[in-house]
Each structure stands twice: as structure tokens, then as C-alpha cells.
Amino acid sequence: MLVKHIEGFLDYLRVEKNASALTLVSYRTDLTQLFSFLADKYSIPHDNVSADFLNHKSVREYLINMQEQGMSRSTMARKLAALRSFVRYLCRENILQNNPIAAVSTPKQDKRLPKFLYPLEIQLLLDAPDVSKPLGLRDKAILETLYAAGLRVSELVGLNVNNLYFDEEMIKVFGKGSKERIIPLGSQAISSLKEYLDKGRPYLQKSSTDILFLNKFGTRLSERSVRNIINKYVKEVALNQKVSPHTLRHSFATHLLNAGADLRSVQELLGHVKLSTTQIYTHITTENIQQVYHETHPRR
């Protein structure tokens, strides 16, 4: 029976692959949903789903079922990736003698380019907080740090004061899988962080803590709170689009590439494992490339 091997698989991901807690939860959910589908299809108990029921045909039917439920192709691809990883683990452990789903192809993905803000829009957003108030100083530091370092929102809220290295103009963050990386900080982000630490954070701090970004109760700010903060200022400056913390990360990468940064450096700054993940940003710099061409080519 395959269900009993899920825990061993998750332990393997946790120990050998240093998988994040979010990845483990997602994989557990994806595999549980697959086995529930197979159990319903073959009218057997969930725990009795064996390798005999896991094959090219049944997995294709599962993909069709997800499509009929209106799931996006990216969600379907992620669930299939979880299953593939699980099957490879079973083969590695000699629980399966061969890969029964090797011929299943990944659903073709929609090409969706990352949304980003133009430099002027970034300027409007970063200047929106009222820095005469402690919360405004905090919000200003949050926005400046997100854009200056291209952080994921989870990395931002996980920051502690000792992750800041002002003398070196660096910040230390822990990304996916608790992977550590050091990122340069610009002068404006450093200035905003110092202002917050000096004049804002003391008013929010209720007890001794090393947490960098505090909420009004003196505890760690949540990811949802950061999204709400951004939404607040997006409305104030009347930006005509949806903006998330990830939009600032996309803007960070896009602006670096437009200014001539090389792809490998941007990959390191973003904490991407694969260069192909970073390459998506090259598609949104086409306008800039065309402008350079028309301004510089002798036969334009």
C-alpha cells in the first residue's frame, strides 16, 4: 500500500532535501488528494491504494479531473511534480521496481509574465507612508527593504535585528528551505531602517525581542499584514493595478536587468536555485532592448 510511505517520503524531503515546512504541507495535501481520487475511482479504502492502481491511464484521468474542476495548469503541474517526486522516492527505496508514470507529460503552461512597477510608480509607493508616525516609519522601512533586496514576504517578516549589517551595507535572509543568503542594501533602505529602529520600533516594542518588524502588539508582523500595508498605500497613491509584496520583488529583478545586471547575479540575489526561474524576467525587458537597439544601431 502506497499511503503508508508518505511519511517516510516527507521525512526524506525534510532531512535530505532540506524542504521547507510549506513544501511538506503542499506535498502531503497533493498526495492525499491523489489517493482519494484513486480510492473513489476504484471503490476501495483510501489506505488500500496500491501500485497496481497507479499508472499512466489513472494519472491522466486525475489530470482531466483537476481540469474539469477548473484548476489552473500551474496547480496541476505542481501536483504532478509532487507525485513524480514521490514515485522517484519509491523507486529509490526499491518499493517500486520501475516508474509507472514516466510517460505522463506535464500540462503545457500558460506564459504569464511577472507584473512589475515602473520606477516612478515605485517612487510614489515608497514615499507614501507618513514618517512622522512610528507605524509610518515601519511601513517605509518595509517597502524600502522589499524593493532594495528583492525579498519574498516570508523572508521579510522572518528578519531579526541581528540580520542587519549596516557597516557592510548587507542584510542576511533565510529563503526557501532555510537557505541563507547575503544581499546588499542601498543607502535609502539603510536610512529608512535606521530611522525605524531609532524612532519607530521603540514605540512598538512591548518587551525584549530581536524581531525586526513589529505589529502594534509588539509581536512579529504577519505576511497578511504586509500585504494589507501595501494595499493601503497602493490605494493612497492610486496605482491602477494590484500590487503584492511579490510585485516589488518582480520590480527589483526587472529594474536590475534593465540597467544591465547579468542574469547570474540576479539569480543569486533572488535566491533562485535554477537559472530558468530567473530567465522569465528577460521577457519583460524586451521593450528596453528594442529602445537600446533603435538608439544605437548604425542601420536603425
Q: Give, as one character, the DSSP assignment of residue 4.
A: G
Choice among 28, 78, 227, 246 that is catalytic:
246
Whole-number Å distance between alpha carbons of 138 and 71: 38
Beta bridge partners, 214, equal 220
> In the block, which residue shows the cell 516594542?
205
Q: Is 293 a catalytic residue?
A: no
Choice among 138, 201, 249, 250 that is catalytic:
249
Q: Is 176 a catalytic residue?
A: yes
Q: Is 152 a catalytic residue?
A: yes
Task: Count CB-CB contacts under 10 A for residue 236.
Answer: 13
Q: Is 249 a catalytic residue?
A: yes
DSSP 261-298: --HHHHHHHHT-SSHHHHHGGGGGGHHHHHHHHHHH-T
Given a contact cutoff of 8 angstroms between Cβ atoms, the answer to whether 237 and 125 are in contact is: yes
Whole-number Å distance between alpha carbons of 206 and 217: 7
Whole-number Å distance between alpha carbons of 27 and 59: 16
Choice among 79, 152, 201, 250 that is catalytic:
152
Given a contact cutoff of 8 angstroms between Cβ atoms, the answer to whether 114 and 284 are in contact is: yes
Q: CB-based burial of residue 115 (10 Å sphere; 0-12 exposed, 13-18 middle, 19+ buried)?
A: middle
Q: Is 196 a catalytic residue?
A: no
Choice among 84, 176, 199, 227 that is catalytic:
176
Choice among 27, 62, 233, 281 that is catalytic:
281
Given a contact cutoff of 8 angstroms between Cβ atoms, the answer to whether 142 and 213 are in contact is: yes
Residue 182: its H or E element: strand 180-184
Beta bridge partners, 172, equal 182
Q: At CA 11, angle to CA 7 and CA 13, rounded to 5?
A: 115
Active site residues: 152, 176, 246, 249, 272, 281
